[in-house]
Amino acid sequence: MRLDRVLSNSGYGSRSEVRQMVRSGRVSVAGITARDPGQILSQQEMAAILLDSETLVIRLHRHVMLNKPAGLITAMEDPHLPTIADLIPAAWKSSGVTPVGRLDRDATGLLLLTNDGTLNHRLASPRWGVWKTYRLTYSGTPLGDTERGLFAAGLILPDGQHCRSAILTLLQDNMADLAIHEGKFHQVKNMIQGVGRKVITLHRMTFGPLKLDETLNPGSSRELTQAEADALYKVVQLEQT
């Protein structure tokens, strides 16, 4: 991997900041002052990087759990609207984390970000069918066994799209949990609309093996623990590098 990417992924600055560090002679690799930010490093060299003579801790991959509040779009930048990037600490942003899939602007809850592109791709891909659970409130008459059966059998939306089998758990007061293992555009809202109700609030509680950390206030984020990261890689059968 390139030296500048190793440094920025590890949280030592944005890509342009770390390039400047290298060009000004502050970085050495295996005892030799580095001059080229694009220098390709072996695994051994990655363990022997010094900045201002201090050994650096190299972490190529970073994974972040955010409790998304309503009102922000799921993107790292947007010319007009506030994004979830406003909530992510600068060092994590410069390590290149991006959201895995998306939550609608009005949706809340567990949003995962990672800078491991392969992991991101697999977690979001319908091929891997990672389960996600949403707690929703809705308007209209209470959902019942009929809708539970329709969802379990695989709902066909009014536009003809076939949904995969989903698990509807009915709760009190026009509240329900819906577990799906795909991620079509506005999927939950469209499924609820497909059975004649309307989603009022939508909150993601789980993503694959991850549960939203209840101690994270809306807008707060934290890095995944090693056990959480291990479980995520396992669910999409990927080796951690």
Q: Show which residues are catalytic.
A: 104
Distance CA 168, CA 200 (A): 16
Count of residues in contact with ligand URA, rule CB under 6 A: 8
Q: Other C-beta atoms within 10 Å of 47: how many?
A: 13
112 scored as a contact of ligand URA (CB under 6 A): no
Q: Which stretch binds ligand URA (CB under 6 A): 26-34, 88-96, 100-108, 161-169?
A: 100-108
By CB neighbour count within 10 A (0-12 exposed, 13-18 middle, 19+ buried), where does 153 fall? Answer: exposed
Q: Which CB, 37 or 194, lies closer to ligand URA?
A: 194
Q: Which residues contact 47 (CB under 8 A, 6 or more apart)?
A: 58
Distance CA 100, CA 140 (A): 32
Q: Which CB, 34 or 168, lies closer to ligand URA?
A: 168
Closest CA to 73 of 65, 84, 86, 89: 84
65 scored as a contact of ligand URA (CB under 6 A): no
Residue from 18, 103, 176, 232 in contact with ligand URA (CB under 6 A) = 103
104 scored as a contact of ligand URA (CB under 6 A): yes
198 scored as a contact of ligand URA (CB under 6 A): no
Q: Which stretch binds ligand URA (CB under 6 A): 50-58, 59-67, 146-154, 185-193?
A: 185-193
Give percent helix, percent strand, percent coil of the chain, each to the nearest 5.
25, 25, 45
Q: Which stretch binds ligand URA (CB under 6 A): 17-25, 31-39, 50-58, 183-191?
A: 183-191
Residue from 108, 187, 206, 221 in contact with ligand URA (CB under 6 A) = 187
Distance CA 136, CA 190 (A): 13
Distance CA 85, CA 97 (A): 10
Q: What are the phi and psi torsion angles at 73 (to 5°)?
A: -90, 155
107 scored as a contact of ligand URA (CB under 6 A): yes
202 scored as a contact of ligand URA (CB under 6 A): yes
189 scored as a contact of ligand URA (CB under 6 A): yes
Binding site for ligand URA (CB under 6 A): 103-104, 107, 186-189, 202
